[in-house]
Each structure stands twice: as C-alpha cells, then as structure tokens.
Amino acid sequence: MLQFFFILFAPYLAWLVWAAFRYPVPLSYNWRSLWQRWVGTLATMGAVAIVVMIFVVVRSMATGVAKTYVKSGREDQVIVLRPNARVELMSVVMRDQARLISTHPLIARDELGPLVTADVVVTKQVPLADGTGSMSVSVRGTTPTGIRMRSQVKLVQGRWFLPNLSEVVVPRRLLGKYVGLGLGHSFAMASRRWTVVGVFDGAGSAFDSELWIDADDLVQAFHRWNAFSSVLVRLRQSENAQAFIADMERDVRLRLEAKTEPQYFAEMGDAGKPMQILGQIITVILTVGAIFAAMNTMYSAIAGRTSEIGTLRAIGYRRREILASFQWEAILLTLLGGVLGCACAFFFNGMQTGATSMMTFSDVGYAFAVTPALVGQGLAFSLVMGILGGFFPAWKASRMPIVEAMRGI
C-alpha cells in the first residue's frame, strides 16, 4: 500500500524535493516555527510516534514469525505430506507409504542408515505457568534420525528420550512458560505420564515451540498404528529435490505432496498473517487519527501565521513556494514522530514472545525483528502521514489572498 502511495504521489514528492532546493522559504523557518508551538508539535509528534511504533512492531512480529520458520528448514530436505494438508498436523502418511518412501534412491545416508524420519505430530493443551489458562502445544513424535536431521536442535540439558519409557524432551523456550515442563517434572497425556528428561534449544526455529518424544511411544499412546503425519527425507543433493518431489506425486502408490523444507516453512510463516492483518486494521484506524492530528496542528499553525504568509507572498514568494514550505513543515513534524516511533519500536527488537499459529492452532514462539527495512517503512509511513495531513492546510495557506492574510484574518 505504501508503494502504491509513493507511485501515485511520486511527481508531487519529486516536486517537493525540487522545491526545497529551488527558491525555498528556508526550512529553518519551518523548523523553528514548529518549536514556537511546541505543545501542539509534541502532542502531534507523540500521536504519530505511537502509530509508527505500532506499525513497525506489528510488522516486526510478522517478520519475526517468518524468520522463525526460515530458520527451520534445509534446502536438501524434503517433507512429504498428504496432498493439500499444508501442515503436518493435518497430514496423514500411511505406514507402508512411509516405508516405500524410505527406499527411494535419491535419499542420502549417513553411517547409521538412510536419513529418513516418519514423524507424528499432535497437539496437547498445557496449562500456562502464570495461571491464565492453557495453550495448545505441538507434540512431535520423532526418531533418533529425526533428531540428527534437525541439526539446529541441540540438547542443552539432560538427555534425549529413550523408546518405550514415555519420556519427553522440551525446548528451553517453553521452560517456565508452562506448568510441568521443567527437567524431571512429569505430566499426563493420552492416559500416560510423561517425564521430562532433557531440554533442547532450537536456535529460534519452529522446533522451539514443540515437545519431542519417541515416535513409537506417541503412536502407541494415541493409537495411531497405521499412520504418521509426515515423512522427512534428506536428499543426496539439493538439486534432486524437484525430481524427488515429482516422484512422490507421480507414484500411484503414493500420490503425496512433497515440498522442500524452506518452502514448507515459508508457507508456515504465513501464520503471522492474521496477526499482521489485525495489526494493519488497527494501524489504519490510528493512522487516520494521526493524520487528522497533524492536519489540525498545521491548520492552527497556519491560522496563527496568516500575516507571516501574507508577508512572504507580498515579498514575492509564489503560492507554490508557500505550499511547499508548509507541506515540508508538516512532513518535518510527522517525520520527527516517525523517528521517535521507530526508536520506541527498537525496544521490542529481539524480545521473545509467542502466538497461536492459525495454521497449526498451536503456540509458535518468535522474536520481534525490527529490521532496517522496517525502520525505513516506518519513516516512509510517517512521511505519508505528513503529506496527507499537511497538504490541505498547506494548500489553504498558499491560496490565502495576500491583502486579507496581511491583515491577519
């Protein structure tokens, strides 16, 4: 939307820049005038700052979510799912299909065997530590190969689960957030008690939001004898990915959908979308308010300076120079707010938080990521507010009849 605005107003912006260099009413005039009326200036700056901060923070959430998922995938790994399942939670891959996939010649091997894992993913409601209710958390049943294949996941405390012992390894990020997830604690799930034997760190990936247990244990506990959720394979070369994916779709015994991990997680990254849309709705409403605040400030600034405008016009400044001057004043005003808003948004940078993914309906952890691009967008956004909020007052100033303006009417 910002881009659309800039394309639409590109000639006007170009003219404003040109006008700032050619025959300018000095910018110092506008700058100092802003501080002559510092209460209104600060109030408007504050309003713009809040809007820009929300704008940047909301976008930094979406960026953070996307980053989380991007960190999760490797180009040479392909995930196989039921067609149109989109996420593992919604997918079913039958046991014999999984076996068939694992025999594919393009699959890489290490010293322990082929790099294939058939995982089962379910969700579990876990009470929150702060007593405010419970949230749905993804539980992944995986294999030792599955652990090896996710090299970003590192054990940081305790040990990995062993088969048939109802053991669970939890991500460090969830420690303290939920009840019963501490090392040595246990919790009930599917008529069994599960003991936490280890803590891992997923390096900010999507796995940081999952509990990991042995795949067979999970299959038994949930009676999912015949079906896995997904099959993850590592290929000998990432260039083989398309051939492998085609085989998965073409083979009549399979007819499954396969995606490279980065592609899969990029789609998962869309989990941030609803949040972003909600944020955008809020931003739009607040933006309208901030634009009116800027407009009001500029209208009252102009009302108090009609005789100055008349004087400038009498001296020989043309309407367009008055228009540019007051337009720049409004832009200065909102850009100051924009800088302040971006500075405030930086306090959120790197902050860890969680949200419910609309794809898996389970908790996804991510960090706010305030990138330079987002700061640029925030400033551009404040520029847009300055243009929209300042145009009509500036236009009014430029159209004032000189004689009336001189009389200060």
Partner 1 sequence: MSNSGNDGNAGSNGGNGGGNGGNGEPIIRLRDLAKSYYRGSLEIPVLTGIDLDIPRGGYYALMGPSGSGKTTLLNLLAGIDRPTGGELEVCGYRLNDFDDNELASWRATNVGFIFQNYNLIPVLNAYENIELPLLLTELSRAQRRERVLEALQLVNLTEQMQHFPRQLSGGQEQRVAIARAIVHDPDLIVADEPTGALDAKNAEEALNLIQHLNEELGKTIVMVTHDPKAARHAHIQIHLEKGVLDRTVEVHELPPREPLLGGRVPH
Binding residues for partner 1, rule: CB under 8 A, are: 23-26, 28-29, 32-33, 36, 307-308, 310-320, 402-403, 406
- Distances in Å between the Cα of 249 and the Cα atoms of 94, 102, 231, 245 are 15, 15, 14, 6
Q: Which is nearer to partner 1, 29 or 160 (CB)?
A: 29
With beta carbons less than 8 A apart as the criterion, state whether 120 and 190 touch. no
Burial class (CB in 10 A: 0-12, 13-18, 19+), 253: exposed
Least distance CB 332 / partner 1 (angstroms): 13
Burial class (CB in 10 A: 0-12, 13-18, 19+), 18: exposed
d(CA 152, CA 342): 32
Q: Which is nearer to partner 1, 25 or 52 (CB)?
A: 25
Show the tokens assigned to 212.
């990991």
d(CA 82, CA 94): 9
With beta carbons less than 8 A apart as the criterion, state whether 228 and 69 touch. no
With beta carbons less than 8 A apart as the criterion, state whether 400 and 299 touch. no
Least distance CB 401 / partner 1 (angstroms): 8
d(CA 256, CA 319): 68
Least distance CB 175 / partner 1 (angstroms): 58
Least distance CB 406 / partner 1 (angstroms): 7
Least distance CB 326 / partner 1 (angstroms): 14
Q: Which is nearer to partner 1, 19 or 359 (CB)?
A: 19
Least distance CB 14 / partner 1 (angstroms): 20
Cα 283 to the center of its chain, rounded Å = 15
Q: Which is nearer to partner 1, 33 or 145 (CB)?
A: 33
Q: Which is nearer to partner 1, 88 or 308 (CB)?
A: 308
Q: Which is nearer to partner 1, 33 or 377 (CB)?
A: 33
- Element (DSSP H or E) covering residue 230: strand 230-234
With beta carbons less than 8 A apart as the criterion, state whether 382 and 338 touch. yes
Least distance CB 12 / partner 1 (angstroms): 18
Three-state SS letters, 298-349 = HHHHHHCCHHHHHHHHHHCCCHHHHHHHHHHHHHHHHHHHHHHHHHHHHHHC
CB neighbours (10 Å) of residue 251? 14
Least distance CB 310 / partner 1 (angstroms): 8
Q: Which is nearer to partner 1, 28 or 103 (CB)?
A: 28
Q: Which is nearer to partner 1, 202 or 310 (CB)?
A: 310
d(CA 329, CA 11): 19
Q: Which is nearer to partner 1, 17 or 403 (CB)?
A: 403
With beta carbons less than 8 A apart as the criterion, state whether 77 and 230 touch. no
Least distance CB 359 / partner 1 (angstroms): 56
